[in-house]
């Protein structure tokens, strides 16, 4: 193995969420990712760690960037990667989630990377298959690789996670990115704030270990990191904010609101961005402040690390029954 094996073990069969991971396990994944950041910057980006392994990207929900990122990650490790977009095929024919999973597992994939619009669906699927499962986002629940790539981005820019003050702003209610980030940042000893109108905050969010703000000026005061979230209008049932204009006025990130954060505060966004809705274009494109493009780069590296740790100890399997 060209990348060398870390002394720390990753004792989980699947990566379904950040909740339940230890600080050491997160650090392991971030450390492994560093190696793959370097590898991805080489002319020759490919190695053979996953040679002979099959990765299936099983996406029940539209995605371009996450699916592409996982696909590149699998291919750069030398694995065979195929993509399945299921919203168009078998679900339309009435096949259940479990039937789809059973069909795929009979083809002996080593890793299933799954995205699904319902919270909990990826966990249900993981209980039914005999390969490793990576949650690429389930409903409003978790998106663990996004939180890991965000953590890697922060660690590279700020040198640490411990003790940083992070404000997560916007549509917390519908956001799996927010839940995974809240979990990870708490585990790693950062201080987390959420900033949103009350209609976009889930009940008892403060019990997840965050300080709650309803005002950007108060919420961003003195923070090291500003994470903006996409307004997920596709998950809206009814009206949560009266207009885009009003939302941007009070909760969109522009230089005026950013002025209260630390002078070197980093701006992040999981993408895809709604420019002029939750973030001003000039702020998003500010090369000194915005880490948004770096987040995308880190995404591939983090997903390579996740694929690596979950495929380290595979053994031959019995025939499909």
The helix or strand, by DSSP H or E, that contains position 169, with its residue range, turns out to be: strand 165-169
Please, what's the b/e burial string for 201-211 (b: 16 or more CB within 10 A of its CB; e: otherwise)?
Answer: beeebeebebe
Q: How far is the CB of 110 from other proteins (least distance, A)?
A: 25
Q: Which of 14, 67, 179, 230 binds other proteins (CB under 8 A)?
A: 179
Site for other proteins contains 193 (CB under 8 A): no
Name which of 24 and 127 has its Cβ closer to other proteins. 127
Site for other proteins contains 91 (CB under 8 A): yes
Name which of 111 and 183 has its Cβ closer to other proteins. 183
Between the alpha carbon of residue 126 and those of residues 111, 153, 234, 300, the distances in Å are 11, 29, 26, 23
Q: How far is the CB of 175 from other proteins (least distance, A)?
A: 9
Q: How far is the CB of 171 from other proteins (least distance, A)?
A: 13
# of chain residues touching other proteins (CB under 8 A): 28
Name which of 94 and 159 has its Cβ closer to other proteins. 94
Site for other proteins contains 96 (CB under 8 A): yes
- Which residues in 199-258 contact other proteins (CB under 8 A)? 202-205, 207-208, 237-238
Residue 41 neighbours by CB distance under 10 Å? 10
| DSSP-derived pairing of the beta strands 111-116 and 165-169 | unpaired
Residues 6+ apart with CB under 8 A from 260: 217, 220, 221, 222
Q: Which stretch binds other proteins (CB under 8 A): 40-48, 140-148, 213-221, 291-299?
A: 140-148
Distance CA 296, CA 292 (A): 7
CB 273 within 8 A of CB 279: yes
Site for other proteins contains 286 (CB under 8 A): no
Name which of 138 and 150 has its Cβ closer to other proteins. 138
Distance CA 279, CA 226 (A): 11
Name which of 156 and 236 has its Cβ closer to other proteins. 236
Which one, of 133, 94, 95, lies nearest residue 115 by Cα? 133
Name which of 120 and 242 has its Cβ closer to other proteins. 120
Name which of 74 and 139 has its Cβ closer to other proteins. 139
Please, what's the b/e burial string for 50-81 (b: 16 or more CB within 10 A of its CB; e: otherwise)?
Answer: beebbbbbbbbbebeebbebbbbbbbbbebeb
Distance CA 73, CA 311 (A): 13
Name which of 74 and 170 has its Cβ closer to other proteins. 170
- Which residues in 157-176 contact other proteins (CB under 8 A)? 176
Site for other proteins contains 121 (CB under 8 A): yes
Q: Which of 57, 63, 140, 274 binds other proteins (CB under 8 A)?
A: 140
Q: Which of 31, 118, 254, 286 binds other proteins (CB under 8 A)?
A: 118
Residue 48 burial (CB < 10 Å; 0-12/13-18/19+)?
exposed
Q: How far is the CB of 194 from other proteins (least distance, A)?
A: 11
Q: How far is the CB of 208 from other proteins (least distance, A)?
A: 7
Residue 313 neighbours by CB distance under 10 Å? 9
Instruction: Give alpha helix (H) positions in the chain.
Output: 23-40, 65-76, 97-105, 121-128, 144-158, 176-187, 216-220, 244-251, 255-258, 281-284, 292-311
Site for other proteins contains 147 (CB under 8 A): no
Q: Contact residues for other proteins (CB under 8 A)? A: 19, 91, 94, 96-98, 116, 118-121, 123-124, 138-142, 176, 179, 202-205, 207-208, 237-238
């Amino acid at each position: 193995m060209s990348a060398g094996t870390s002394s720390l073990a990753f004792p989980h069969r699947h990566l379904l969420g950040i909740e339940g991971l230890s600080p050491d396990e997160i650090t392991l994944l971030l450390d492994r990712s560093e190696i793959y950041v370097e590898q991805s910057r080489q002319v020759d980006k490919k190695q053979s760690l996953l040679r002979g392994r099959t990765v299936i990207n099983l996406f029940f929900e539209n995605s371009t960037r996450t699916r592409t990122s996982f696909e590149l990650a699998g291919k750069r490790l030398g694995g065979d990667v195929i993509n399945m977009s299921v919203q168009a095929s078998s679900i339309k024919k009435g096949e259940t989630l479990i039937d789809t999973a059973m069909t795929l597992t009979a083809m002996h994939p080593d890793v299933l990377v799954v995205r699904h619009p319902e919270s909990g669906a990826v966990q249900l699927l993981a209980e039914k298959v005999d390969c490793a499962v990576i949650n690429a986002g389930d409903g409003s629940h978790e998106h663990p690789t996004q939180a890991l790539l965000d953590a890697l981005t922060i660690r590279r820019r700020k040198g640490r996670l411990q003790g940083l003050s992070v404000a997560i702003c916007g549509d917390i209610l519908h956001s799996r990115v927010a839940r995974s980030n809240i979990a990870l940042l708490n585990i790693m000893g950062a201080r987390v704030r959420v900033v949103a109108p009350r209609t976009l905050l889930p009940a008892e969010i403060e019990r997840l270990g965050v300080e709650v703000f309803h005002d950007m000026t108060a919420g961003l005061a003195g923070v090291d990191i500003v994470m903006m979230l996409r307004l997920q209008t596709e998950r809206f049932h009814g009206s949560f904010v009266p207009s885009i204009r009003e939302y941007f006025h009070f909760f969109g990130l522009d230089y005026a609101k950013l002025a209260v954060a630390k002078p070197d505060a980093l701006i992040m966004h999981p993408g895809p961005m709604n420019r002029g809705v939750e973030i001003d274009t000039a702020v998003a494109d500010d090369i000194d402040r915005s880490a948004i493009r770096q987040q995308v780069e880190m995404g591939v590296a983090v997903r390579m690390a996740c694929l690596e740790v979950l495929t380290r100890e595979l053994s031959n399997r019995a025939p499909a029954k």
